[in-house]
Amino acid sequence: MRNFAINGKTAVIAVGMSDLTMRPAQSNPALAAAALRRALDGSPVRQRDIDGLVVTSGAPLGVDYDKTAEVLGLEVQFVQQSWSHGRFTNPGLHVAAMAVHAGLAEIVLCVSVFAFAKAKHTMGNIGGEGDHEADRVGGGPHGESPVYGLAAPLGGAAMAWQKYLSRYGYTGDEAAELVLAQRENAIRNPAAAMRTPLTHDEYLQSPHIIWPLRKLDCSLPTDGAVAAIVTSAERARDLCAKPAFMTAIQGLHASRNEHSFGAPWLGIFQQGSVQPCVADAPFAASGIGRKDIAALQIYDAFLPQTIATIERFGFCGPGEALSFIQGGRIRFDGELPINTSGGHLSEAHCGGWTQIAEAVRQVQGLCGNRQLPNAAHVMYAHGAGDCTIFSREVS
Amino acid sequence: MLRPRPYLSGFEDMPFWEYCRNGELRLQRCRSTGRFLWPILPVCPDDLSEAYDWVPVEGRGRISSYVVYRRIYHPEFAGHVPYICANIELPEGVRMTGNVFGTDGAWNADAILGPAPRVDALNGRDVTLFFEECGHDLTIPQWRLAS
* Span A281-328, pLDDT tens digits: 999 999 999 999 999 999 999 999 999 999 999 999 999 999 999 999
Among residues of chain A, what percentage have pLDDT more than 70? 99
Residue A177 has pLDDT above 90, yes or no: yes
Residue B29 has what pLDDT?
Answer: 97
Q: Would an 8 Å CB–CB cutoff place B66 in contact with chain A? A: yes
Write out chain A residues lying below 8 Å of B39, CB-based. Answer: 137-139, 270
Mutate to test the interface with A, among B67, B76, B110 (most CBs of A within 10 A): B67
Region A10-121+220-391: CATH code: 3.40.47.10
Average pLDDT over residues A215-230: 98
Q: Would an 8 Å CB–CB cutoff place A125 in contact with chain B? A: yes
User: Using the beta-carbon criterion (under 8 Å), do B119 and A166 form an inter-chain contact?
Assistant: yes
Give a three-class secondary structure readout of chain A: CCCCCCCCCEEEEEEEECCCECCCCCCHHHHHHHHHHHHHCCCCCCHHHCCEEEECCCCCCCCCHHHHHHHHCCCCCEEEECCCCHHHHHHHHHHHHHHHHCCCCCEEEEEEEEEHHHHHHHHCCCCCCCCHHHCCCCCCCCCCEHHHCECCHHHHHHHHHHHHHHHHCCCCHHHHHHHHHHHHHHHCCCCCCCCCCCCHHHHHHCCEEEECEEHHHECCCCEEEEEEEEEEHHHHHHHCCCCEEEEEEECCCCCCCCECCECCCCCCCCCCCCCCCCCCHHHHHHCCCHHHCCEEEECCCEHHHHHHHHHHCCCCCCCCHHHHCCCCCCCCCCCCCECCCCHHHHCCCCCCHHHHHHHHHHHHCCCHHHCCCCCCEEEEECCCCCEEEEECCCC
Q: Is 2.40.30.210 the CATH classification of the domain at B14-145? A: no
Summarize pLDDT for B71-103 with one digit per residue, the tens. 999 999 999 999 999 999 999 999 999 999 999
Residue B109 has pLDDT above 90, yes or no: yes
Average pLDDT over residues A188-208: 98
Mutate to test the interface with B, among A131, A144, A162, A165 (most CBs of B within 10 A): A162
Residue B147 has what pLDDT?
Answer: 83
Q: Per-residue confidence at A213, pLDDT binned at 50, 70, 90? A: very high
Min distance B74 CA to chain A CA atoms (Å): 5
Residue A274 has pLDDT above 80, yes or no: no
Summarize pLDDT for A22-66 with one digit per residue, the tens. 999 999 999 999 999 999 999 999 999 999 999 999 999 999 999
Average pLDDT over residues A101-117: 98
Q: How far apart are CA A179 and CA A343, in angstroms?
A: 10
The whole-model pTM stands at 0.97
Residue A129 has what pLDDT?
Answer: 79
User: Using the beta-carbon criterion (under 8 Å), do B4 and A147 form an inter-chain contact?
Assistant: yes
Nearest-by-Cβ selection for A137 from B9, B83, B119: B9
User: Using the beta-carbon criterion (under 8 Å), do A136 and B12 form an inter-chain contact?
Assistant: no
Write out chain A residues lying below 8 Å of B80, CB-based. Answer: 149
Residue A275 has pLDDT above 80, yes or no: no
Q: Per-residue confidence at A260, pLDDT binned at 50, 70, 90? A: confident
User: Using the beta-carbon criterion (under 8 Å), do A127 and B73 form an inter-chain contact?
Assistant: yes
User: Using the beta-carbon criterion (under 8 Å), do A267 and B123 form an inter-chain contact?
Assistant: no
Summarize pLDDT for A238-247 with one digit per residue, the tens. 999 999 999 9
Residue A130 has what pLDDT?
Answer: 77
Q: Would an 8 Å CB–CB cutoff place B75 in contact with chain A? A: yes
Residue A127 has what pLDDT?
Answer: 81
Query: Which one has a higher pLDDT value, A274 or A338?
Result: A338
Average pLDDT over residues A205-224: 98
Write out chain A residues lying below 8 Å of B14, CB-based. Answer: none
Residue A125 has pLDDT above 80, yes or no: no
Residue A272 has what pLDDT?
Answer: 82
Write out chain A residues lying below 8 Å of B7, CB-based. Answer: 134-137
Min distance A311 CA to chain B CA atoms (Å): 20
| Residue of chain A with shortest Cα separation from B117 | A171
User: Using the beta-carbon criterion (under 8 Å), do B68 and A211 form an inter-chain contact?
Assistant: yes
Residue A225 has what pLDDT?
Answer: 98
Residue A123 has pLDDT above 80, yes or no: no
Residue A235 has what pLDDT?
Answer: 98
Summarize pLDDT for A366-391 with one digit per residue, the tens. 999 999 999 999 999 999 999 999 99
Q: Would an 8 Å CB–CB cutoff place B98 in contact with chain A? A: yes
| Residue of chain A with shortest Cα separation from B94 | A270
Residues 3-42 of chain B with CB under 8 A from chain A are 3-9, 12-13, 38-41
Residue A134 has pLDDT above 90, yes or no: no
Residue A122 has what pLDDT?
Answer: 81
Q: How far apart are CA B110 and CA B66, in angstroms?
A: 14
User: Using the beta-carbon criterion (under 8 Å), do B120 and A146 form an inter-chain contact?
Assistant: no
| Residue of chain A with shortest Cα separation from B42 | A137
Residue B32 has what pLDDT?
Answer: 94
Say what the ipTM of the complex is. 0.98
Residue A126 has pLDDT above 90, yes or no: no
Residue A124 has what pLDDT?
Answer: 76
Residue A232 has what pLDDT?
Answer: 98
User: Using the beta-carbon criterion (under 8 Å), do A139 and B75 form an inter-chain contact?
Assistant: no
Q: Per-residue confidence at B31, pLDDT binned at 50, 70, 90? A: very high
User: Using the beta-carbon criterion (under 8 Å), do B70 and A211 form an inter-chain contact?
Assistant: yes
Write out chain B residues lying below 8 Å of A217, CB-based. Answer: none
Residue A395 has what pLDDT?
Answer: 82
Q: Per-residue confidence at A133, pLDDT binned at 50, 70, 90? A: confident
pLDDT, averaged across chain A: 96
Write out chain B residues lying below 8 Å of A145, CB-based. Answer: 6, 85, 97
Residue A1 has what pLDDT?
Answer: 78
| Residue of chain A with shortest Cα separation from B63 | A163
Min distance A65 CA to chain B CA atoms (Å): 30
